[in-house]
Amino acid sequence: MTAFHDEGAAPRAPHQVLDQSDIARVVTRIAHEIVERAKGAEDVVLLGIHTRGVHLARRLRARLADITGRDIPLGALDITMYRDDLRLKPARALEHTEIPPGGIDGRLVVLVDDVLFSGRTIRAALDALNDIGRPRAVQLAVLVDRGHRELPIRADYVGKNLPTSLREAVKVQLAEIDGGDAVLVGDRDYAARSSQALAAEEQSGDAEQPSAPHLPE
Amino acid sequence: MKRHLVSAADLSHDDALLILDTAEEMAQVSARAVKKLPTLRGRTVVNLFFEDSTRTRTSFEVAEKRLSADVINFSAKGSSVSKGESLKDTALTLQAMGADAVVIRHGASGAPLRLAESDWLHGSVINAGDGTHEHPTQALLDAFTMRRHLAPGLGRDLSGRRVTIVGDILHSRVARSNVLLLATLGAQVTLVAPPTLVPIGVESWPCDVSYDLDSVLSKTDALMMLRVQRERMNAAFFPTEREYSRRYGLDSLRMGALPEHAIVMHPGPMVRGMEITAEVADSPRCTVVEQVANGVSVRMAVLYLLLGGATLADHPTRTNAEESTK
């Protein structure tokens, strides 16, 4: 883990942190870790969180199939109805939630998302799982952990720990929807609607040095 | 989407598709073990029913409860309305109690619009049937049912599908809402009724009119039978029930004249032997029971889209007011 120092207020163009081959390697490594931790991934169910988590879960499933030679059940989860900030924006369109036919009862559910940030999305996903079934255990795999957790949540499998300031925005691009694979970090624009960004703007003095959260390694 | 749902004409093509697509997701919830979402926690929805209704009120109540809203049922019978209270005073009372949405059924056409346009209530107004005017959520659930059978798939509309609505068009709020919504979704609608049961001004509606059921059967993808609303009839609109039934009722012979894929719909309540025979009502092509189930999904979608996000968006002062009250 490298120490991170904010360079100040000068706006920077987004720069690439991970490229296509990095992302491919990361997905393969996470797949191996899942097999290792879950002792062969016998009862694993992958659930991707919309939008990019679904595509990552699909890639992870392909790698797992290469490694274990078995088809891992794959589903998609839309957590919109469980969000805690629904009242801050007009009602949003829903995405398709798909639970694999075998269900999740007694299985090891691995949630897959692109960026782990405040942890609120994962909190909502855990609430959604609660209504869908009772897994044996729930684990979390993310491509990027950018820190700044607002809830006691951590990832079990992390593609890359990416220390950031609240002023920055992390953008994951995947070939399936964005035309190419990349992880970019740049300055957050003023249109950013996150409560954190707004808070950071209000008390910009504090936001310059966010208390470095303890990141899992 | 607008803040209220008073008329099917309020819905644009995109709004209508958004509701139908959202309803597809809501339908999944109804198939789960835990049929509940936390989405409308803390919101209060009042079901204000000045007219009797079991189906619609229950359907709304189930939808509201599945979204975790607090539900208050207010029916005219046994309430202060029977003591002579006006709509305005009832609305002011509900506003004072903090209703976030009011689902209203009223015998007078236009009552929901009056409520929506007034400043008596700040919440959303959802029309659950007003007089002989409109019943937009019924039209939405009918369109949802048609799409599932005739054009399945998210994001698809009903363009090119032919819908025939038969029966008491004059008194039917279901027919009016359906004509408006189905036209928005691109379907071709034909109304079939005796001349006495066709409303004045129908030529301005986006649909065709026929007096002969048999001639349109072969060109129909969805056939919707309506009940003859005796309770609203104050004159002789047709000679005898028997004659009506023979010319405009659906029996298995007529059902046989429909194309293979066509479905038979009915908004309920059905009068078996009048507009529909028991044989047709019980056949697998009749979607009456399915329509009821779809009604819950569609109403969940409407409630979510009206109440699920930030509400009172039309009031610039809302954030301060909301923050201070919560």
Instruction: Out of B38, B154, B308, name the one closest to residue A91 (CB).
Output: B308
pLDDT band at A217 (very low <50, low <70, confident <90, very high): very low
Model pLDDT, residue A110: 97
Contact A196, A144 (CB under 8 A): no
Model pLDDT, residue B49: 93
Domains of chain B: 8-134+292-325 (3.40.50.1370), 136-290 (3.40.50.1370)
Mean pLDDT rounded to a whole number for chain A: 85
Model pLDDT, residue A196: 54
Model pLDDT, residue B324: 37
Q: What are phi and psi of B267, to 5 degrees?
A: -75, -10
Q: What burial class does residue B269 get, using C-beta atoms within 10 Å of its C-beta: 0-12 exposed, 13-18 middle, 19+ buried?
A: exposed
Model pLDDT, residue B85: 84
pTM as predicted: 0.87
Is it the case that residue B279 has pLDDT exceeding 70?
A: yes
- Residue in A with minimal Cα distance to B34: A131
Q: What burial class does residue B84 get, using C-beta atoms within 10 Å of its C-beta: 0-12 exposed, 13-18 middle, 19+ buried?
A: exposed
**Cβ–Cβ of B34/A132 closer than 8 Å?**
yes
Q: At residue B61, what is the residue type?
A: E
Match 């989860």 to its residue by tokens. Answer: A77
pLDDT in tens, B181-223: 999 999 999 999 999 999 999 999 999 999 999 999 999 999 9
Is it the case that residue A215 has pLDDT exceeding 80?
A: no
Nearest Cα to Cα of residue B32 among A108, A77, A56: A77
**Cβ–Cβ of B304/A87 closer than 8 Å?**
no
Instruction: Out of B21, B25, B308, name the one closest to residue A97 (CB).
Output: B25
The domain spans of chain A are: 15-208
A193 part of contact set with chain B, CB < 8 Å? no
| Interface mutation target, options A50, A79, A81, chain B, most CBs of B under 10 Å | A81
A4/A16 Cα distance (integer angstroms) = 16
Is it the case that residue A206 has pLDDT exceeding 70?
A: no
Model pLDDT, residue B81: 73
Q: Higher model confidence: residue B42 or residue A217?
A: B42
E strands in chain B: 44-49, 70-75, 101-106, 124-130, 162-166, 188-192, 208-210, 222-225, 263-265
B94/B48 Cα distance (integer angstroms) = 10
pLDDT in tens, B124-142: 999 999 999 999 999 999 9
Match 């509701």 to its residue by tokens. Answer: B19
Q: What are phi and psi of B36, to 5 degrees?
A: -150, 140
Contact A77, A126 (CB under 8 A): no
**Cβ–Cβ of A93/B22 closer than 8 Å?**
yes
pLDDT band at B319 (very low <50, low <70, confident <90, very high): very low
Which strand ranges, in their side-by-side order, compose the sheet holding A74-77?
A74-77, A44-49, A108-116, A137-145, A157-161
pLDDT in tens, A33-70: 999 998 888 899 999 999 999 999 999 999 999 999 99
pLDDT band at A150 (very low <50, low <70, confident <90, very high): very high
| Chain B residues lying within 8 Å of A198, measured CB to CB | none
Is it the case that residue B55 has pLDDT exceeding 80?
A: yes
CATH class label, A15-208: alpha beta
A120/B17 Cα distance (integer angstroms) = 29
pLDDT in tens, B240-273: 999 999 999 999 999 999 999 999 999 989 999 9
Q: What is the DSSP string of B240-276?
A: -HHHHHHHH-B-HHHHHTS-TT-EEE--S---BTTTB
Model pLDDT, residue A12: 66
Torsion sign over Cα A120, A122, A126, A132: positive
- Residue in B with minimal Cα distance to A83: B39
**Cβ–Cβ of A97/B28 closer than 8 Å?**
yes
Mean pLDDT rounded to a whole number for chain B: 91
Is it the case that residue B94 has pLDDT exceeding 60?
A: yes
A13 part of contact set with chain B, CB < 8 Å? no
Q: What are phi and psi of B24, to 5 degrees?
A: -60, -40
Model pLDDT, residue B284: 95
Instruction: Out of A89, A95, A96, name the one closest to residue B309 (CB).
Output: A89
Query: Do the strands A168-173 and A182-187 form a parallel or antiparallel pair, or are they unpaired?
Result: antiparallel
Give the three-class secondary structure for B144.
Answer: helix
Is it the case that residue B306 has pLDDT exceeding 90?
A: yes
Q: Is the ipTM of this complex over 0.90?
A: no
pLDDT band at B312 (very low <50, low <70, confident <90, very high): low
Is it the case that residue A216 has pLDDT exceeding 50?
A: no
Match 């779809």 to its residue by tokens. Answer: B294
Match 């029930």 to its residue by tokens. Answer: B241
Is it the case that residue B80 has pLDDT exceeding 90?
A: no
- Residue in B with minimal Cα distance to A78: B25
pLDDT band at A1 (very low <50, low <70, confident <90, very high): very low
Is it the case that residue A195 has pLDDT exceeding 90?
A: no
What does the pLDDT average to over B152-159? 94
In this predicted structure, which of A119-133, B69-83, B88-102, B187-201 has the lowest mean pLDDT? B69-83
A101 part of contact set with chain B, CB < 8 Å? no
In this predicted structure, which of A147-161, A195-209, B47-61, B66-80 has the lowest mean pLDDT? A195-209
Contact A160, A147 (CB under 8 A): no
**Cβ–Cβ of B32/A131 closer than 8 Å?**
yes
